[in-house]
Structure 1
Amino acid sequence: MNSKKLLIAVVLVSLVGCAQKPSREIIAEDGALTAVPTSSLLEQAQQAIEAGEFRNADPLLQQLNASARTSKETLQYNLLALEYAIKLKNIDQSQQVLDRIKHDQLNQSSKELQIKHGLLKAEFYELSGQFLIAARERDFLSSILEGDVKETNHQFIWQDLTNLSLENLLKWAETAPNTQFADWLQLAAIAKDPEFTLKEHVMAVQEWKSAHPSHPASIKLPGGLALLAEIAQQQPKHIALMLPLSGNLANSGQAVRDGFMAAYYQTLKRGYDVPMISIIDSSAAGSISLAYGDAKALEAEWVIGPLEKRQVNTLAKLEELPLPTLALNYSDNTAVGEMPDDLYQYGLAAEDEARLIAEYAFQQGLRRVLAVAPDNDWGKRIYTAFEIRWIQLGGDVAEQRFYKQQKDYNPEIKALLNVDDSQDRYKSIRRIMSEPVEFEARRRQDADWVFLLAMPIQGRQIRPMFDFNFAGDLPIYSTSQIFSGKNNRKKDQDLNGIYFTDLPWLLEDSEIKSIVQDNHKRAKGSYARLYAMGVDAFRLYPRLNQLSVLPNSKIFGVTGDLSMDSEGRVHRKMPMARFVRGLPKAISTDQP
């Protein structure tokens, strides 16, 4: 008779438990029981996790949890359970597994298991947004790592540090002077300084290398820093700045132009070379093809612009561009591999902000959202970007509502929070009961935060409705559109408590910001972000090659941390803020 074995899981229990129970059993056709060695289960679970076969890994880990184990096998099991939880982006479960790993077991274990524990611990900190602690953990491990693992670990140290603010990098570097980690912090601070011109960055990096010749980052510069000197030698001599300076978009075009030229003159004043700039009114040119004809006639080597989405859509359909171009908006075409080779796209896309809010909320341990967005194309587009990222992370949407512009938003928010249902139940009970019934209206309890898409006027009306409907304890997150760009303590009292993401330009002081605001009255109002966009457009174009060649590299600007995808689209990561007493206050997401 064939001796093929049939596997039957005897016990399935929670991963979090640690009870010592009999090992897994196999029932053969002759009825005999054979225990599956714990070592075999560990090996199978490791293979399943590495292959991303989580459905297969889950029962194996549950069976391991129910098996008799040696001290070493218990540590191996816990490390597998930790790796599994991290792969599933389950922060709470990861923390529970970390807490149950005993230090005496770890200290008595092999170097291999200690390294695995340290690297997984760093991954957990990264998953939960604790980037400084993650970098410290990786720096601590660096001396005992070898080969590709050591190199990869250095890359993660750099990515962790570039997620921190410039202010905190400098502060923490001072707390541990003359250490390898402090030197990492100093180099990251150099890279993140938005005031540096390209050549100033080259000089600062060279000075750092000279001061720390044996540092791992000096031996192999991270994040595209090694390319800076070469990039600085390959700059265009003549640029056409193509913007709408007349017509309906004139004010927007002029704001971008003035920000761009402010950065240009700041660089010139510092004694560095700048290209010749020819300014072309894309509205007056008649068509985008004629505007490019003007640029070529002027012998420009690059174009920065256009700003109008319709014109960027036209460029995206071409097989080949007349000149390499940094467009200041995004085309509607997001298909992979269909963009002209020399087209780069940069703008202030709210989609980036919505995805960032999803990531930040998830890092805070929030899991189930109530979403409120305008019932228009913009609101649905931004909400969709948020929802896709939120679900990718593992979050749930309790309910979404799209609102139309109206005078009273209370019915909309009341319905979202199911307060109506609570009152309807009370009325039903009143009809049944002859005695008076005590009643307090309640909101739904199946959500732990709110994603609100709104302009300032709508936001000031909607935010108080959550307090009124018993949801004042729910944290509310929004995109930069919730802030007008100009401080207004009286009006924005109604936005108190809202978390939102916005440009560093609006949340931090800088030399270039002072220059722009001193010379342009509109720079403190609704056009403030466009002035910042102009500044970053000037600073971005010289480094497009850096972003293109190195996918994980970033440029740190006044509109956020800038990176590029494979289609030449520039994405932004921005700091968080919160309305406090009617004013936006930057909040640090860096944890010491």
Structure 2
Amino acid sequence: MMRSLSVLLLALSLLLLAGCATVGGPTPAQQAANAQANALYQRGDYQGAARTWDNLSAQNPNGNEGNDYRLRAADAWYVAGQPARTAQLLATVDDARLRGLDAARYNLLKGELALAHDPQQALAIAAMLPRALPAPLDLRAARLQAEAASVLGDRWASARARVHMASLLTGKARQQNAREIERMLVALGVPTLQKQARELPAGDPMLPWLGRALHRLGSALPKNLPQLMRQAGTVIAQGGSPTQEGFHTYHQIALLLPLSGPLKVAGEAVAEGFLTAYFNTPEAQPRPLLHVYDTQGTQAGTLAAYQQAQSAGADLVVGPLARDDVAALFSSNPTLPVLALNHPDGSVNPPQGSVEFGLMPADDGAQAAARMLQQGIRSAVVFIAGSENEQRAAQAFKVQFEAGGGDVLTLQTLPQGTVNYVSEIRNAMPGLGANGGIFIAVPPETARLLIPQIRVARLRQPVFASVQVYSGSPNALDKDLDGVQFPDAPWLYDAQPGLPVRARLMRNLPVVAGHGARLFAFGMDADLLSPYFVWLQQHPGSYVAGATGQLSVDAQGHVQRTPIWVQFNNGVAMPMAGTLALSAPTQ
């Protein structure tokens, strides 16, 4: 009797085990159908994927598999634009059985469905979603937060969510998202944007967007001037052989510049500077192939030149030069790394792995403000001649000076067609004490008229200027500018060791002696930066000692330039004491 009972129990156990093998998991055919649904979803056939998961859920009405299939079908129907079908299926999903990513997907769908009738609930759900999600779900979660906040009138929260979206989008979708960010931030107004900027930590991804919005509103952000600590190119032992820290070898560089059209002269000056540095490469260093392409100074020419460079096998693009051309190239979502030679206006950021480098008028104003504050000057008056570049320099000066606790008492625009500035000087005098300072953003001809009249008015405060106060070449008339300080490129004064001497180059290159000298130096720096810019962005505080200054790269991919300070003395522009003079890296 006992033996019969044991045999019976054994038989029941085998039957139960057999039943678990059948009921407890999907069949091979179901596994294949699920793999097919995933493939359809990845290809963008969301309806096909949804129908396949619908069929699978019908075959498994109970159990975890059926629950998962219904969730996946609900998700696919939503992405396919069928929210009603999504809601029907989601109501049949047992969320208590879901774990990890499936639970996040379920809550995301609930939030997306709630957006149409209860944006507050949608926003609350979005806030509870995990931060670490796969890119497609992360993008949807950020979009949910952005749209819910927008409906509720919270432009700041909506813009912040869209800034997160920017890193997940490409092409036209990224451009449209950028326009939405800028539209929302511009609507907040200057006071709100400035307040938010003061409260954000350095390196916050919102800061460059705030800067663009403020620029649209005629204002600006104070610059976080780089703190230089570590020079790139230091020779270190790696793998038993010496190598230069931060150096990356490219095989073929494409230089995109306007060598015809309205920007021909500027393009040629930059090209000559680049080629001079390129051929100055030490023999011991590998020199990449170099192809030069004419962009014709147009967006179409730029995109065509990029395609030619890519087809020819380039692995780095340097250029283009014009703002609009840079914007067009960045907006095309280039796959090659780009060292762009300007900063585009608008909401176009450098793509991942690319940077933008330019000689910006606003930088002079920010540098002048920082220098005055370092010298204890807390009040200032500003004179400008009225051009767009001068206005940008003056605006940057004001923002930087006031952010550091200074007070800009007045901004005087000098009238055109006259040599008498007595009225403007008189208007600037009230409140400017002995410890104040003067900032001017004017060309040399205007400065030579303005400075003597300032001295006649017995204003003895130090005068700081934008770089345009000096033409780049000696002029006997500059004696009227004695004492004026301004930031400039060290190479113009042979204050940067390791670079070709300017006086020697003047014999064969006329551009070096004229107004194109700074563009020539800019071209040299484009070559010097090319092997280092990726490493510089990854190592805050590191820099390259270049022809236009010490060059670093911030987290947003903007090359920042720390110039030297120069002062007129007996009519000669000379570097001031304390000027940085560090060796340029070899290549």
Do these two structures clear the TM 0.5 threshold for a shared fold by scoring above it? yes
Q: What secondary structure, in the 3-state scheme, does the structure 2 residue paired with 1:542 have?
A: coil
Question: Is 2:324 the counterpart of 1:324?
Answer: no
Find the partner of 1:491 among 465, 472, 477: 477
| Structure 2 CA distance for partners of 1:418 and 1:273, relative to 1, 3 Å | closer
SS at match of 2:280: helix
Which residue of 362, 371, 383 maps to 1:372?
383
- Whole-Å Cα distance in 2 between the matches of residues 259 and 281 of structure 1? 16
Give the equivalent residue in structure 1 for 2:404.
393
Structure-2 residue corresponding to 1:244:
258
Letter of the aligned partner of 2:493 in structure 1? L
Distance 1:410 1:264, change over 3 A: same
CA distance in structure 1 between the partners assigned to 2:520 and 2:454 by the alignment: 34
Other-structure match for 1:546: 535
Match of 2:313 among 273, 279, 299: 299
CA distance in 2, matches of 1:468, 1:303: 52
Contact residue 262 and residue 516 of structure 1 kept, 8 A: no
Post-superposition, which runs of at least 4 consecutive aligned residues in structure 1 deviate over 6 A? none
Q: Deviations over 1:154-209 (max 9, x none)?
A: xxxxx98x57xxxxxxxxxxxxxxxxxxxxxxxx7xx48xxxxx5xx42xx559xx
Query: Are positions 1:253 and 2:267 aligned together?
Result: yes
Q: Does 1:309 align with 2:323?
A: yes
Distance 1:587 1:418 in 2: 28
Question: SS state of the match for residue 501, structure 2?
Answer: helix
Does residue 1:384 correspond to 2:395, yes or no? yes
Q: Unaligned regions of 5+ residues in structure 1, if any?
A: 1-158, 164-187, 193-197, 211-226, 420-442
The equivalences for 1:392-431 within 5 A come to 392-418=403-429
Give the Å deviation of 1:393: 0.9
Q: Is the contact between residue 305 and residue 327 of structure 1 (CA under 8 Å) also seen in structure 2?
A: yes
Query: What SS does the corresponding residue of 1:267 show, helix, strand or coil?
Result: coil
Q: Number of paired residues?
A: 350
Shift of 1:298: 1.7
Question: Higher mean Cα deviation, 277-286 or 248-257?
Answer: 277-286
Query: Does 2:509 match 1:520?
Result: yes
Distance 1:463 1:228 in 2: 51
CA contact (8 A) 1:321 1:342 kept: no
| Separation in structure 1 between the aligned mates of residue 486 and residue 275 of structure 2, nearest angstrom | 29
Aligned pairs for 1:527-538 (under 5 A) are: 527-538=516-527
Q: Is residue 398–residue 446 contact of structure 1 (8 Å, CA) maintained in 2? A: no
> How far apart in 2 are the matches of 1:508 and 1:590?
12
Residues 377-433 of structure 1 show CA distances to partners (whole Å, capped at 9, x for unaligned) of 2222221111111111111111111224332242343333348xxxxxxxxxxxxxx
Shift of residue 273 of structure 1? 0.9
The residue type equivalent to 1:282 in the other structure is T
In 2, Cα distance between equivalents of 1:206 and 1:465: 59
Determine if contact 2:257/2:296 at 8 Å carries over to the other structure: yes
Amino acid at match of 1:463: I
Structure 2: how far apart are the matches of 1:373 and 1:284? 30
**TM-score for both structures, normalised by structure 2:** 0.56
Partners of 1:454 and 1:403 in 2: how far apart? 9
Report the CA distance between 1:590 and its aligned residue: 6.8
Q: Deviations over 1:530-549 (max 9, x none)?
A: 11111111110100111111
Q: 1:446 to 1:361 in 2, by over 3 A?
A: same
Matched, 1:478 2:492: no
Query: What secondary structure does 1:400 align onto?
Result: strand
Scaled by the length of structure 1, the TM-score of the pair is 0.55
Confirm or deny that 1:263 pairs with 2:277. Answer: yes
CA change 1:364–1:418 in 2 (3 A) is: closer
Identity %: 28
Question: For 1:355, which of 338, 362, 366 is the aligned residue?
Answer: 366
- Aligned with residue 295 of structure 2, among 282, 292, 301: 282
Alignment RMSD (CA, Å): 2.8
The aligned counterpart of 2:167 is none
The residue type paired with residue 306 of structure 2 is: Y
Kindly indicate whether the alpha-carbon contact (under 8 Å) linking 2:361 and 2:392 is maintained by their aligned counterparts in 1.
no
The answer to whether the 8 Å contact 2:422/2:453 transfers is no
Q: Alpha-carbon deviation of 1:229?
A: 4.3
| CA separation of 1:259 and 1:516: change in aligned 2, threshold 3 A | farther
CA contact (8 A) 1:410 1:462 kept: yes
2:249 to 230, 235, 243: 235
CA shift, 1:243, in A, is 0.6
2:566, 2:266 → 1: CA distance? 25
Partner secondary structure for residue 462 of structure 1: helix
Aligned with residue 445 of structure 2, among 449, 457, 460: 457
SS at match of 1:554: strand
Between 1:550-559 and 1:361-370, the stretch displaced more is 550-559
Q: Deviations over 1:465-514 (max 9, x none)?
A: 1012121x1110012111100011x2111111101111101122555134
1:567 aligns with 2:556: yes
